Copies of this chain bind each other. A is one copy, B any other.
Amino acid sequence: MPGDVKRRSAKTGLPPGSLIHIGEQHSATTRITLCVYDDTGFQEREVETLEGVAVPAGEAVTWIHIDGLHEVRHLEQLGKAFGLHPLTLEDILNTEQRPKSEDHGEYHYIVLKVFHQDAGGALIPEQVSIVFGRTWLVSLREREGRLFEPIRERLRVEKGRLRKGGTDHLAHALIDVIVDSYFTVLDRIGERIEGLETALIGRPSPTTLRSIQTLKREMLLLRKSAWPLRELLGNLDRSESPLIHGQSALYFRDITDHAVQVIDTIETYREMLSGMLDIYLSSLSNRLNEVMKVLTVIATLFMPLTFLAGVYGMNFRYMPELEWRWGYFALWGVMLAVACGMLIVFRRKKWL
């Protein structure tokens, strides 16, 4: 997170609307996919440039998907083609946005976060922007990936709702995929939490604590992205924009339910992690107790015996016991009796 703020702070003092890509470059090249579809057909092709693209006439839907944000000129062409406000373009490039939806009249702008997990399981956020007008939709990701492949697949084969619907239907489908991807992430985190719980019952170590803290921080990160989802989707559901048709609202409400489920799960995980911290701390206390009991038992057992041995090691001229025939063996008896008595007391106290 400090890194995000660092990159963000580098823009200080520039006029708003300056098109500078902050965020690391995740894909070597920019890949632009262009789909045009309506009830009757579906075309799909990759293009090199957005030169010449314009608001499509007619009822067919044009979906432009861009992987990679580091080539600013595509953004400028997009802005010109669809009349996007400079601030919208700036927000698309500034990958530290909070999820939000903005109604710009002619178009809707939606920013979302999607999460990937690297080899070590660490969460990597990626920003996805969706801009849609009446007959066009542009989606933009920071990195290449197959996130929206299922949608494209459905467009290719399906003759159903999605092909018949407008851009709001497509937007809904994209957001649905994104919200569903949270379940995948939460699923893996759930498995790590289960692993930690097993570790806690066994022999927790400072590593366990560190894992708990790492997970807590990831839940913070997820939460920061998931909480605004509810508001964002509520806005779309209640929107009076002509771009969103009545029956779409029902579908947006359906994703809202999913988002609420995501938030609930995040909050549950957070409380579980807090509980695990308590268990970890009390296990430290328990172990200290255990160690101290061993020490106390040993000390309590041998100190009196050593004292007795010390007494009969003294060199007083007149010590009658030393002269006794069975003195030595009698002392062993006494020492054994003392030791056994101690052990019985300890057993009674449940220390052994």
A118 at interface by CB-CB < 8 Å: no
A315 partner, pick from B176, B251, B314, beta carbons under 8 A: B314
Q: How far is the CA of A350 from the CA of B14 in the complex (A)?
A: 50
| Closest CB in chain B relative to A121 CB, distance in Å | 15
Are B12 and A177 closer than 8 Å at their CB atoms?
yes
Are A315 and B315 closer than 8 Å at their CB atoms?
yes
Q: How far is the CA of A278 from the CA of B183 in the complex (A)?
A: 29
Identity of the chain B residue whose Cβ is nearest the Cβ of A206 in the assembled complex: B286
Identity of the chain B residue whose Cβ is nearest the Cβ of A275 in the assembled complex: B213
A316 partner, pick from B17, B281, B312, beta carbons under 8 A: B312
A318 partner, pick from B3, B181, B183, B327, beta carbons under 8 A: B327
A100 at interface by CB-CB < 8 Å: yes
B-chain residues with CB within 8 Å of residue A154 when the two chains form the complex: 15
A residues lining the B interface (CB < 8 Å): 1-6, 8-9, 11-17, 85, 87, 90-91, 96-98, 100, 150-151, 154, 158, 160-162, 172-173, 176-177, 180-181, 183-184, 186-187, 190-191, 193-194, 201, 203, 206, 209-210, 213, 216-217, 220, 224, 250-251, 254, 257, 260-261, 264-265, 268, 271-272, 275, 277-289, 291-296, 298-307, 309-319, 321-328, 331, 350-351
Q: How far is the CA of A128 from the CA of B250 in the complex (A)?
A: 22
Are A224 and B264 closer than 8 Å at their CB atoms?
yes
Copies in the complex: 5
Given contacts A284-B289, A307-B302, contact A16 B350 (CB under 8 A): no
Q: How far is the CA of A324 from the CA of B314 in the complex (A)?
A: 13
| Closest CB in chain B relative to A347 CB, distance in Å | 14
Are A317 and B327 closer than 8 Å at their CB atoms?
yes
| Closest CB in chain B relative to A133 CB, distance in Å | 18
B-chain residues with CB within 8 Å of residue A16 when the two chains form the complex: 172, 176, 251, 254
Are A1 and B265 closer than 8 Å at their CB atoms?
yes
Identity of the chain B residue whose Cβ is nearest the Cβ of A154 in the assembled complex: B15
Q: How far is the CA of A9 from the CA of B184 in the complex (A)?
A: 5
A5 partner, pick from B186, B278, B307, beta carbons under 8 A: B186
Q: How far is the CA of A307 from the CA of B293 in the complex (A)?
A: 20
Identity of the chain B residue whose Cβ is nearest the Cβ of A15 in the assembled complex: B154
| 10 interchain residue pairs of minimum CB distance | A2-B190, A309-B310, A13-B150, A9-B183, A12-B180, A312-B314, A316-B328, A302-B303, A295-B296, A313-B313
